[in-house]
Amino acid sequence: MHYKLLTPGPLTTTMTVKKAMLTDQCTWDQDYKEITQEIRRRLLELAEVSAKEYTTVLMQGSGSFGVEAVLSSMITSEDHLLICTNGAYGQRMATMCQRHNITHTIYQVPENDVPKAEAVQKLLNDYPSISAIAMVHSETTSGILNELDEIAAIAKVNDLLFIVDAMSSFGGIPLNVSELDIDFLISSSNKCIQGVPGFSFIICKKHELEKRKGHARTLSLDLYDQYQVMEKDGKWRFTSPTHTVLAFLQALKELELEGGIEQRYLRYLTNNHLLRQKMSELGYETFIQKHQGPFITSFLYPKNRPFNFNNFYHHLKHNGFVIYPGKISDHDCFRIGNIGEIYPEDIHRLAEIIEKYSEVAYVS
């Protein structure tokens, strides 16, 4: 059954991105290795960083593999990591730290609020051994968009390593990585760049990456080793997801054709505003009141009438859209993403379907 994905990724891709996967590639072949190198170059341009100061490392697996590659191979046994979290993805970084015995402190913020610079500063005063900060940019759990500027400034002033999980935001919102002085930024192939799943990528400050050689706790996720091999001629250390790589290059070209990140951001923002406006007219409240991001929105189950998510989900799927269940700890929500190959006309159509559904549900 064909449907459009209103999810945070994998998301709806263009036919041309899907078609780019119709060739089989030899991983040793020069043409294929050059594709990898072109992807790495283009990602640096999107991040607004120089190839002198930064490098891109591609890593097999989903986004979490990229996050774990950074934490498990760049945080040394001497380090102390502060994790700012207001959702499941921040929490996942903490779980990774537990697995790898990485010294860490958690700064826990409610799911509908953002980490604050003053609180981070206070934690730094309380724990002078903190040497690194990690945070999520767009917390997909709720759809909230965390502010990076002030915490980035604190990291810089205190000479701390700054790690950002920009999984569900990179490519969909302007982000000046060198201005924010981010040391490691992680994202993946199947989010705002609008490729298909299969690998993550890490924009790394070269100097920090090279300094942390030899600290990896695993072989497969060794970020430095991956970098060293890839840097030579674009060869991935182990088998790479060749079809995904081809699709990703096509997706990068299409992002450029759309007008770059700024234009894509405006499309997402338009989709998101329209979605929230339409849903509000239909009586659905959002969980996030402040700092709502432009990528995905959590809606509370309606209070004034019975609501069955499963029923709602299948109704929408039957009509051509799939949405996501909620992920908020103590509120019943569902989530609707508006990224990927999605336009205002899709949101209008979705709203019409939901409007009819609500009427049906209300009457019965």
Ligand X SMILES: *Cc1c(COP(=O)(O)O)cnc(C)c1O
Q: Which is nearer to ligand X, 124 or 251 (CB)?
A: 251
Q: Binding-site residue total for ligand X (CB under 6 A)?
A: 12
- State residue 144 phi and psi, 5-degree precision: -70, 150
Near ligand X in 54-113, by CB under 6 A: 62-64, 89
Within a 13 Å sphere around the CA of 327, how many CA atoms are in the beta-carbon half? 20
Q: Which helix (H) or strand (E) holds 60?
A: strand 54-60
Please state the closest distance from residue 163 (CB atom) to ligand X, in A: 12
Q: Regarding beta strands 333-337 and 296-300, do their DSSP bridges make them parallel or antiparallel, or are they unpaired?
A: antiparallel
Please state the closest distance from residue 42 (CB atom) to ligand X, in A: 21
Please state the closest distance from residue 35 (CB atom) to ligand X, in A: 22
Asked whether the beta carbons of 236 and 36 are under 8 A apart, the reply is: yes
167 sits near ligand X (criterion: CB under 6 A): yes
Q: Which is nearer to ligand X, 124 or 180 (CB)?
A: 180
297 sits near ligand X (criterion: CB under 6 A): no
DSSP SS3 for 344 = helix
Q: Which is nearer to ligand X, 32 or 268 (CB)?
A: 268
Q: Which is nearer to ligand X, 32 or 248 (CB)?
A: 248
Structure-block tokens of residue 165: 């999980």
Stretch that binds ligand X, among 18-26, 45-53, 161-169, 253-261 (CB under 6 A): 161-169
Please pick, from the candidates 12, 112, 168, 226, the single residue that binds ligand X as defined by CB under 6 A: 168
Please state the closest distance from residue 251 (CB atom) to ligand X, in A: 16
Q: Which is nearer to ligand X, 8 or 234 (CB)?
A: 8
16 CB neighbour count, 10 Å cutoff: 12
- State residue 173 phi and psi, 5-degree precision: -155, 140
Burial of 293 (0-12, 13-18, 19+ CB in 10 A): buried
For residue 292, give every residue at least 6 positions away whose Cβ sits within 8 Å of its Cβ, in sequence order, or none.
143, 144, 145, 272, 276, 286
183 sits near ligand X (criterion: CB under 6 A): no
Q: Which is nearer to ligand X, 7 or 56 (CB)?
A: 7
Please pick, from the candidates 7, 188, 250, 298, the single residue that binds ligand X as defined by CB under 6 A: 188
140 sits near ligand X (criterion: CB under 6 A): yes
Stretch that binds ligand X, among 122-130, 163-171, 233-241, 355-363 (CB under 6 A): 163-171
Q: Which is nearer to ligand X, 33 or 286 (CB)?
A: 286
Chain position carrying tokens 């015995």: 101
Please state the closest distance from residue 187 (CB atom) to ligand X, in A: 9
8 sits near ligand X (criterion: CB under 6 A): yes
User: Is 335 labelled as part of a ligand binding site?
Assistant: yes
Please state the closest distance from residue 8 (CB atom) to ligand X, in A: 5
Chain position carrying tokens 């993403």: 337
Q: Which is nearer to ligand X, 16 or 329 (CB)?
A: 329
Please pick, from the candidates 79, 111, 165, 222, the single residue that binds ligand X as defined by CB under 6 A: 165
62 CB neighbour count, 10 Å cutoff: 18
- State residue 127 phi and psi, 5-degree precision: -125, 85
Asked whether the beta carbons of 135 and 90 are under 8 A apart, the reply is: yes
136 sits near ligand X (criterion: CB under 6 A): yes
Please state the closest distance from residue 124 (CB atom) to ligand X, in A: 24
Quickly count helices (H) and strands (E) in the chain.
12, 14
Q: Which is nearer to ligand X, 197 or 234 (CB)?
A: 197
For residue 220, give every residue at least 6 positions away whose Cβ sits within 8 Å of its Cβ, in sequence order, or none.
60, 238
Please state the closest distance from residue 348 (CB atom) to ligand X, in A: 26
- State residue 233 phi and psi, 5-degree precision: -150, 20
Please state the closest distance from residue 65 (CB atom) to ligand X, in A: 7
**DSSP 8-class letter at 129:** T
Chain position carrying tokens 């700064």: 107
Q: Angle between the 260-281 and 344-363 helix axes, to the nearest 10 degrees?
A: 20
- Output the known binding site for substrate: 335
Task: Name the site residues for ligand X (rule: CB under 6 A).
Answer: 8-9, 62-64, 89, 136, 140, 165, 167-168, 188
